[in-house]
Structure 1
């Protein structure tokens, strides 16, 4: 057993199984492809589920991979222990109905004992308690010492998730030595201590579970194995945990250099080093696979990891953005297996730096608000429990992590109402779930229809009309034989010209008809198994299963969509030409009315850049470039330089759309056959969607004529409102009106200042003396907040022992200000406490610093009564 680097171990494993006739596949993206059940890929077999379930044919019956994985259920424990991490790599070899237990066990043992030379006397094997077949193979064929085989129960050694393929497991353990154990007499394989490390799980998928506890033997059983690469590296390198593995430790060393600390010198700092190290690995790989920071779903997971890492940087004394600097080391340690990291390094650094800067802006405000709330709690005003509402507001509005809130309030000796916070979080998640309902319905329909192995033939590239046979109908989620006039139904046919929503392009619209019946097609969705679901409204007669219907796509809608989709391709090419190669599509929506294109970029485009992009796209339209679509092998497509969607996974055969060589992209959408048919292109808006993601909305063809007509009408209407007969004079007239308004506003401000000054004179005259403090209170009409603050500052500067409570009452609302001079503060006066108590007498709320604080007013009729209580309230404090 020799020390072996993590990158070398990965290659050893994949090469070994290639020698056993396995096809090596690259890691699938962390972003699940066509699987709505997963937020992120969390195991080696997850991306291959469709192959195990028989929904699609695998590229080979024998496959080996090293799969990137993210798991976040234990995120709170990451850093606190050296065991937990969110990012890991899973080595695996898989058989889809080919070899089974004999080969899987033999090759596993051969790899670890002959290739890695792990000492046999320190290896243990566990089997499912009833799996005598596996024991016989391990002992009699593989040659494992029977005393090193342990039987474990269903919970440990039987893999199943509900109905479907399942089976017993065999796990391989490494004995790290008695000194790593718990010391208990019964310490053995399965103990929770650190002595016996399970590092390879062989799943023998040999049964089909009907979901009711009945198991049927599969005719063609499968093999699914998983071995944690980092865990194997710990064994081969003789280290205690993943943070001491070579590639991971090098990342931590870079962080330590930036922070000026050393690992193992201080346990609290070690926690922060582990958090940052793990989270920056996860962040880099997620971003590289197309996950972008967002406020929900996988984007929120990414944002949370980034912000948790940035917070722990603060705990190490780093207050400036620093995570982006560590990206270079993450790339360096992993580029051998994942060369795309190097290609995207600049992009990764920029996105992470922007997120760090945003976090620094928001967390400062969060700290200020939380400290203010806790100050009020410390003064006995609001108990000892931070409300879930306050915690959620900090999280939702200011991006303040809940774990940070919990940590800070605990340090002050307070508790947090986690139950009400969780309720608010669940309500937010429910809203997010509802937003994804249409996608979930498609996945659900696949099972309900029960059409295993059946696909809809799409002929919409060649024609807008076709006859198809109805093979299933759903009404209200239930399979029916027919749908009648007035009903909304989902109709499935064996052949269709209708494009299903995909790749950001909306579905076609049109009609379905047969003798005596007709229906409008409102939407079309495609299931993971290739069935096209036509959402229809039956207009007359009945549509029935088994009958042949005529399907016709609405040409005007399809043509508009084609213009916008081809324009989107030209737009991406033009953006890369003007802004740089870092530009990648981050999302798009193409319909008959507009095109919306999201792309990776780090700042707002300048007017000149927008103008240049518009000019380039229109020049390609006027050039009349031919647009050709062709299906080809993926390697051939890559050789043409065709652009792939960022983070997308493609099959062996792809469709390439080539617009005169200027834009060449992988795309399954519909397009014009010549750019001249787009007509014209106009950018309507450019805006921010998220950190590092911009959005352009644009129009083409007839939509530009509509836009011109609307704009012309608006210009004429504006001119008429300003009494102009010539719209060409509109700009000059607008400038004159604005100058006039500015002058009048200045006059109004001057008059208001004079009025406030007149009111201010009488305020100071009514001052009272209480225990050395000069008490001033007054109510004034329509004084701006700024003027109110100016008056307060003047009162404080006139006498440092001043305590003043001033109220400005307007028609809409009233504002209350309390100021305390330095001498008054020394005597015990506190503006935040005073204004809170005074405003509460009106039903208002507020608070703030000892020297100055603001509050709102509830019932205006109670202001006089509240101001009369000021002397008494101040007297209690001094």
Structure 2
């Protein structure tokens, strides 16, 4: 058994099964494609479920993969132990109705003992308690001694998940030797981690009804899984995944940054393991197009990033550092996952922005949490209230899991039930109108069509003259005939209608059979079938009818112009802003092109103008637009851009428009000149690190220009100008005049306020040697109140002044305390907070000056009535 690096192990495994006529498939994205049951890919077989369930045809009945996986149920344990992790790679070989137990067992044994040279005497076998067939193969065919084959029950050696395919397992275990403890029995050796499982062979041979009945399947399958990192532990003779070569190199980089050494301080080792694991996970997640957010897989990413950043601080690293470590993760994995190197700048940018944003959050949140725990300690409490935890989360963006983790370190728990209750109430308020929005009755694609997949001809044709109706659905149920007025879904054997996909809207048009007419309002796709959402406008249509399927040509042409424009736009954005720009979403319809992209600041006017210039130059150059299917590797060599997180087959469709080369299944024009014109209407923020451009093309640009012209003409008329060319000068003059008037009004208001203030001191009361004055000034803005208060703040006497101003429906309090008043115990922040509370308002500030909002302006006078009492309490 020779020491073998992790990267070499991966290649040896995949090459071995290629030699056994398996097709090597690239790892799927961590983002599940077409599988809503998973948040993230968590096993080697997860992306292949569609093949096991017969929903798709695999490239070969024999397949081998090394699949990226993320599992987070034990995230709190990561770092505390040396065996927990969130990111791992799963090696697997799969048979879809081809070979079965004999070959699976034989090849597993050959790979471990012959290819890797693991001594046979170090391996133990477990089987399902009633799987005599597996035992016979291991004992009689492979030659494993009977006493090294262990029978285990359903809990350990039978794989099933509800109803559907399931079956017994056979696991291969490795004995790590006496250094890990004695071998009194197999169970005892497993408990002390002397014997560890390295490979699980699942024999899917039954179809379970979920109620305890198991029918033998005609086509049996093989699904195996072996953790690459765990196998590397065996081959490298190390204790855990953090000591495997590629992972250890990442940890060494972190240790270098922090100036510490692994295994010298148990507490610091926890942080080293957390950062090492989490930066591996986050690098791969961002590489697959996941962005930090507050829900779903985006929240998983954000949580991992923040946890890593916090543990960096615990190690004394006060600056952002995760992007540096990200480089090492990419370098260690670039051979197997070249896309990481291709997206290096983008991945580092996303991680860097999130880490910097969290640095601001953690300082504020930690300070407040420390105040809460200090108060708990003083009161002898042990549970942080859910209200305090929610305040940290809602007001300061401090994640609840981090609050719990810090509290646990200090010996406290959190009232999670109360926190959850408050969080639910907040979500209910935020989504109050969501439930009222009625979505499309077909949006869930719940219709299951029992017919061959639809043939799409819409890349080249706008009409199918001899299509046949394969099925009609009304109210979710299949019907033979639909009549005038019925809202239906029609399935054809052949269609030119494009189904909504990739951000391109579905086609509209007509389905005709003589005088029988259905208008198609939308087209969507479900498991290979194109669903035409339609209304019978005239006559009737029946299953089996031969019809003409006719899309709305002008609308489709407008959609295609906008789709090709989206490609040109992405290329232009990358030229102007940088290679980190990638599509983060799009919507192309007949009205506009909406394009979301990764960028971290608002575009300048100059950048927007430059992008417009580049796209229009491409349009005017009349470049041909070509669409071609080709092997995916050939497409990659051409430099074709793929969508983040998208799963592609071995053959892809590539759309080329001059220098723009992209994977795309949508419809496009044949020449850039057909776009006509391009104009950006707006550029805005969608989410952290994601910007959105709205643009129009063709005749829609003319419409936009006409709207601009009409606005200019109306504005000129409003200003009584005879010549619109004078509009800009006139607007500047009006603005300057208005600004001058505002200054005069502000000056007069300030003079009036000052005169009122001077009069206040003539009859000022004294409390504890401090003069107190107050005044209400309706129609006064907060800035004017601040100036008024600041004029009092500079006086040498001991003075507390409270001013209130109203502007429309809003009210503001401003309290100031002179230096002498502060010396006598006055605090403007506390006073204004207590006064504002009487009106239902909030606020606060420094001891010498503080502002607060008034809740109910009708209660301002009542608040003033309490001013003297509040001051008296404050300066006792």
In structure 1, how many angstroms separate the alpha carbons of the residues matched to 2:744 and 2:370?
41
2:477 aligns to what? 478
- The residue number in structure 2 matching 1:134 is 134
Tell me the TM-score normalized by structure 1.
0.90
The answer for the alignment partner of 1:238 in structure 2 is 237
**Deviation of residue 712 (structure 1)?**
0.8
Partners of 1:190 and 1:853 in 2: how far apart?
A: 68
Counterpart of 1:798 in 2: which secondary structure? coil
SS in 1 for 2:548: strand
1:50-449 counterparts in 2 under 5 A?
50-177=50-177, 180=180, 188=187, 193-364=192-363, 366=365, 386-388=385-387, 391-392=389-390, 394-395=392-393, 398-407=396-405, 416-423=414-421, 425=423, 428=427, 445=446, 448-449=447-448
Range that drifts further, 623-632 or 50-59: 623-632
Range moving further from structure 2, 634-643 or 124-133: 634-643
Q: Deviations over 1:573-615 (max 9, x none)?
A: 3334444444433322111011122334444444333333323
Secondary structure of the structure 1 residue equivalent to 2:193: coil
1:763 deviates by 4.2
Superposition deviation, residue 540 in structure 1: 3.7
Distance verdict in 2 for CA 1:54–1:413, change over 3 Å: closer
Return the alpha-carbon distance in structure 2 between the equivalents of residues 336 and 300 of structure 1: 29
Deviation per residue, 1:336-372 (Å, 9 max, x gap): 2122222222222222222223333444555577678
Tell me which moved more, 746-755 or 465-474.
Answer: 465-474
Checking the alignment, whether the CA contact within 8 Å between 1:764 and 1:795 is kept in structure 2 is: no
Question: For residues 360-759 of structure 1, what are the structure 2 equivalents within 5 Å?
Answer: 360-364=359-363, 366=365, 386-388=385-387, 391-392=389-390, 394-395=392-393, 398-407=396-405, 416-423=414-421, 425=423, 428=427, 445=446, 448-449=447-448, 451=450, 454-466=452-464, 467-514=466-513, 517-527=516-526, 529-659=527-657, 661-759=658-756
Counterparts of 1:556 and 1:248, CA distance in 2 = 56
Distance, in Å, in 1 between the alignment partners of 2:371 and 2:779 is 29
Counterpart CA distance in 2 for 1:436 and 1:86 is 38
1:807 is the counterpart of 2:792: no
Whole-angstrom distance in 1 between the partners of 2:369 and 2:5:
46
**Superposed displacement of residue 782, structure 1:** 3.8
- In structure 2, what is the equivalent of residue 27 of structure 1? 27
Pair 1:865–1:378, CA change in 2 (3 A): farther
| C-alpha contact 2:190 2:196 (8 A) present in aligned 1 | no
Please give the secondary structure, in 1, of the residue aligned with 2:187: coil
Deviation of residue 145 (structure 1)?
2.6
- Offset of residue 531 of structure 1: 0.8
Deviations, residues 788-845 of structure 1 (Å, cap 9, x unaligned): 3445455454358655444334442222234456676676555444434333333334
**What corresponds to 1:42 in structure 2?**
42
Per-residue deviation, 1:299: 2.9
Alpha carbons 1:449, 1:479 under 8 Å: kept: no
**How far does residue 228 in structure 1 lie from its aligned partner after superposition?**
0.9
When residues 601 and 8 of structure 1 are mapped into structure 2, their CA distance, relative to the original with a 3 A threshold, is same
Match of 1:58, SS state, is coil
Superimposed CA distance per residue, residues 416-443 of structure 1 (whole angstroms, 9 cap, x where no aligned partner): 4422433465674996998999799666
Find the aligned partners of 1:795 and 1:596 in 2 and give their Cα distance: 54
How far, CA to CA, are the matches of 1:791 and 1:127 in structure 2? 84
Separation of aligned partners in 1, 2:13 and 2:296: 33
- SS of residue in 2 equivalent to 1:10: helix
Deviation at 1:91, TM superposition (A): 0.8
The 3-state SS of whatever aligns with 2:502 is: coil
In the alignment, structure 1 residue 17 sits paired with structure 2 residue 17? yes
Q: Distance in 2 between matches of 1:850 and 1:239?
A: 60
Gaps of at least 5 residues in structure 2 are: none
Q: Kindly state the Cα deviation for residue 398 of structure 1 after the two structures are TM-superposed.
A: 4.6
RMSD: 3.5
Any conservation in 2 of the 1:621–1:676 contact (CA below 8 Å)? yes
Secondary structure of 2:276 counterpart: helix
CA contact (8 A) 2:372 2:384 kept: no
Asked if structure 2 preserves the Cα contact closer than 8 Å seen for 1:366 and 1:398, the reply is yes
C-alpha deviation, 1:668, in angstroms: 1.8
Q: Could you tell me how far apart the structure 1 residues matched to 2:756 and 2:184 are?
A: 87
Deviation of the 1:391 alpha carbon: 4.4
List runs of 5+ in structure 1 lacking aligned partners. none
Deviates more, 1:799-808 or 1:268-277: 799-808
CA distance in 1 between partners of 2:251 and 2:437 (Å): 38
- Of the structure 1 ranges 732-741 and 478-487, higher mean CA displacement relative to structure 2 is found in 478-487
Question: 1:859–1:680: structure 2 CA closer, same or farther, 3 Å change rule?
Answer: closer
Q: Distance in 1 between matches of 2:334 and 2:435?
A: 39
1:208-248 alpha-carbon deviations (Å, 9 max, x no partner): 22344432222221111111111222233333322222211
Distance 1:489 1:370 in 2: 57
Describe the superposition over 1:719-764 as per-residue Cα deviations: whole angstroms up to 9, x where unpaired: 1111112111111111111111111121122122222222322444
Once the two structures are TM-superposed, the CA of residue 505 in structure 1 deviates from its matched residue by 1.0
The 1-side partners of 2:29 and 2:623 are apart by 34
- 1:776 Cα deviation (Å)? 4.6
Q: Deviations over 1:149-208 (max 9, x none)?
A: 222222322212223221111122223456646x99877169655343222111111122
Alignment check: 8 A CA contact 2:445 2:525 kept: no
Tell me, yes or no, if the aligned pair for 2:382 and 2:411 is still in contact at 8 Å.
no
Q: Tell me how far apart the structure 1 counterparts of residues 77 and 436 of structure 2 sit (CA, whole Å).
A: 31
Alignment length, in residue pairs?
870
Equivalent-residue separation in structure 2 for 1:731 and 1:208 (angstroms): 77
Tell me: CA distance 1:80–1:435, structure 2 relative to 1, closer, same or farther (3 Å): farther
